[in-house]
Amino acid sequence: MEIGDLAAVFALGESLFTAERWPSLYRTWDQYALATHFASDTETCLVAELNDKVVGFAVGTMLEKPGSAWSYGYLVWLGVDPTAGRGGIGAKLVGDLQEVFIELGARMIMADTDAENSAAISFFEKQGFEEDSEHVYLSKNLTYDPHYIAHHRKGRVAERPGGVRGAYKRAKAKKNKGDGYAH
């Protein structure tokens, strides 16, 4: 992936990771996350092109556990344009990313997907991945929380005990500077 590919990769991801189809991917897919991964893990961000058009991408990162001999490659996002046909683009991206992870010292590669995404699970199993364990993803709708309601009525964060307002401003300032992204 090159910097000039980011707009095409983002647009493809937007078309694939829709709120209606994959809400958890939709929530985490944004241009800032993509740019952050590209800036910090350029070597683990790959694209597939067909006739000079981006038709697929793989975005990964290395995870290292301090004090452990294990390093992990994590496939964060994988996307292939459905109009590009079933020519093995996804498999090629995963294979190439696996080689990069090996060169970077990874002893394992991990990927996750929605439990309802049977096509992705089947795809990953064909690539040699195994379903080791279940992962529970929880969410909470904050739109009914009194603090959320007060915030949106006043257009600002209401004061809460413990300095939450100041912490919110610091976190917002940090995010606006592009100093980090929690995924």
What mean pLDDT is predicted for residues 49-59?
93
Q: What is the pLDDT of residues 131-175, one digit of tens each?
A: 766 666 666 777 888 888 888 777 554 444 444 444 444 444 444
Q: What is the pLDDT of residues 58-76, one digit of tens each?
A: 999 999 888 888 899 999 9
Q: What is the pLDDT of residue 45?
A: 95
Q: Is the pLDDT of residue 85 over 80?
A: no
Phi, psi of 14 (to 5 degrees): -60, -35
Q: What is the pLDDT of residue 135?
A: 63
Q: Is the pLDDT of residue 40 over 80?
A: yes
Q: What is the pLDDT of residue 167?
A: 43
More confident residue, 126 or 140: 126
What mean pLDDT is predicted for residues 117-143?
79
Q: What is the pLDDT of residue 109?
A: 92
Domains of the chain: 3-135 (3.40.630.30), 140-183 (no CATH)
Instruction: Answer yes or no: pTM beyond 0.85.
Output: no
Q: Is the pLDDT of residue 21 over 80?
A: no
More confident residue, 166 or 117: 117
Q: What is the pLDDT of residue 137?
A: 61
Sheet containing 53-64: order of strands: 45-50, 53-64, 71-80, 108-111
CA nearest neighbour of 10 among 35, 36, 41, 27: 35
The CA-based dihedral angle spanning residues 101, 26, 123, 11, taken in that order and rounded to the nearest 10 degrees: -80
